[in-house]
Structure 1
């Protein structure tokens, strides 16, 4: 129920903001398509796109169509927005989810090594990684890797859309979260080493490594997963940046092309897709954390 109310509030606010954006999509389309800018043409296009209706009526008409799968037609391409998104959404989801999964998989051993030897090499590396990726934009790092790997050593073909470009995009998405996940995992694991049950495990003959893995890992993983929800938002932004940078045919590239045309239907579809993504990630993480919580056993 809360999710539905949140989506409804997001849809109303998004529709209002998009509708009040400066510039008229009809005027933009007339200039782009070299149509006669006479009152008859303008009136016909506004009626065809439903822009001659009151704002409230336009919102309810759009909302009724959206929930039934009719997301409107793109002002820019003339194609149904739903079809345009369904062609591009799998790529964007694959990049974002793969990046988050890769970050989590790599963060666990890095965080464990950092907790096992505080102030050691892994500890310093994870700290440096967490700080540096926050200071370096993904766009700049992507350009640097294109120059190094594509121009200098010719290991990849930039803008080719091949497997190497997809892999590079996933690594860059993961890179933003690995350091943060590792630091959270390390912090919680070190906190658990101060608990009585950990000292009891050591007294029973387990090594520090064994005791940390068997008795601290689940709690540290629980803490790390709580950060995935916030990082899911960053993954959207990084995915959008890399789709534009590498020329990948994802949803975000379609959005960038639609902004200048004031393509209302495409903009609203993107906002709602992001909202559903965030709610889905929150629900998935809550379910996973509930299963990992020892108190729920």
Structure 2
């Protein structure tokens, strides 16, 4: 796809999603002014209510409010949180590195482990690696990540005391990253294995064996690029699940990322925070899809 056309489609998609989410969020049954007055202990007078509604633009028609919000959002003014009174952009910039670190590190670690696991599973069908990857894939799909995290916390933190519960240093991110990677390594390893197994059925693979290569050598020489291509395609589809896994880990381990901030803002109907979160997630999906697409195009220049 031509870069200009792809850019137009991406911008159009973001505008449609932003309008749809803005409409839904502003239609939620609750008055953010009433919530702010209660949280901030302000006098519930008509003057106070009118002033807050005018300041936040809640007294304007929906379409006008959307256009005003979009203009401000694109210029870096994401509004103020109804709950904390702080600029939303500042709140996100403070918390976003934690969420990005968890998601990117977990996904990258999953890819690093998935490649050798998938390769050995394909090189030795029905062997230890193959059975392990299959069992792990079924396990992570059947067991909720939140429940698994609770069990790991109870075993390692309470029973064995190998970790400090609710630590606030870099060690607090190690276990969440490992749990995120655990979910994706099984899925990606099975995708990598499946494509390698398909390579083993091709005529050129049998030709490589006839030339004296072992099955393992032939798989690595002739199948790794195609399998990596399939793995990157799977990463594109799994990018959305990374968000959910990261949110689960933030809440479970008490990490101050944007997902935990979102949960706190939902109860307060903090519209500015909710809208900004939607746009950040959309941007994350676009970046992940574009990055995977470029990597796939590098492996196969015929992809246009």
TM over 0.5: yes
Asked if 1:87 is matched to 2:82, the reply is: no
Match of 2:24 in 1: 17
Q: Deviations over 1:175-226 (max 9, x none)?
A: 1111110111111101001111111111111111111101111111110110
Assess, with a 3 A threshold, how the Cα gap between structure 1 residues 18 and 139 changes in structure 2: closer, same or farther: same
Matched residue, 1:240: 247
Structure 1 residue 294, shift from structure 2 partner: 6.3
TM-score by length of 1: 0.97
Q: Distance in 2 between matches of 1:147 and 1:163?
A: 20
1:25-174 alignment runs, 5 A limit: 25-174=32-181
Residue equivalent to 1:196: 203
Q: Is the counterpart of residue 281 in structure 1 residue 288 in structure 2? A: yes
Residue 264 (str. 1) matches residue 235 (str. 2): no
In the alignment, the residues of structure 2 paired with residue 36 and residue 72 of structure 1 have an alpha-carbon distance, to the nearest angstrom, of 23
> For this pair of structures, how many residues does the alignment match?
296
Q: Which runs of 5+ in 2 are unaligned?
A: 1-7
**Residues 294 and 189 from structure 1, CA distance in 2 versus in 1: closer, same or farther, beyond 3 angstroms?**
farther
Whole-angstrom CA distance in 2 between matches of 1:241 and 1:68: 31
Does the aligned pair in 2 maintain the 1:7–1:275 contact within 8 Å?
yes
Pair 1:8-2:18 in alignment? no
Distance 1:151 1:188 in 2: 42
1:150-176 alpha-carbon deviations (Å, 9 max, x no partner): 111111111112333201010111111
Runs of 4+ in structure 1 over 4 Å off: none
- Quick check: 1:161–1:246 contact (8 Å CA) kept in 2? no
Cα displacement (A) at 1:38? 2.4
1:209 maps to: 216
5+ unaligned residues in a row in structure 1: which ranges? none
The answer for the alignment partner of 1:222 in structure 2 is 229
Provide the C-alpha distance between the structure 1 equivalents of 2:201 and 2:142, rounded to a whole number of angstroms.
33
Offset, 1:295: 4.5
Distance in 1 separating the partners of 2:168 and 2:119: 35
Task: Give the TM-score, by structure 2 length.
Answer: 0.95
Contact (CA 8 Å) 1:111, 1:186: kept in 2 or not?
Answer: yes
**Structure 1 residue aligned with 2:298, among 283, 291, 296?**
291
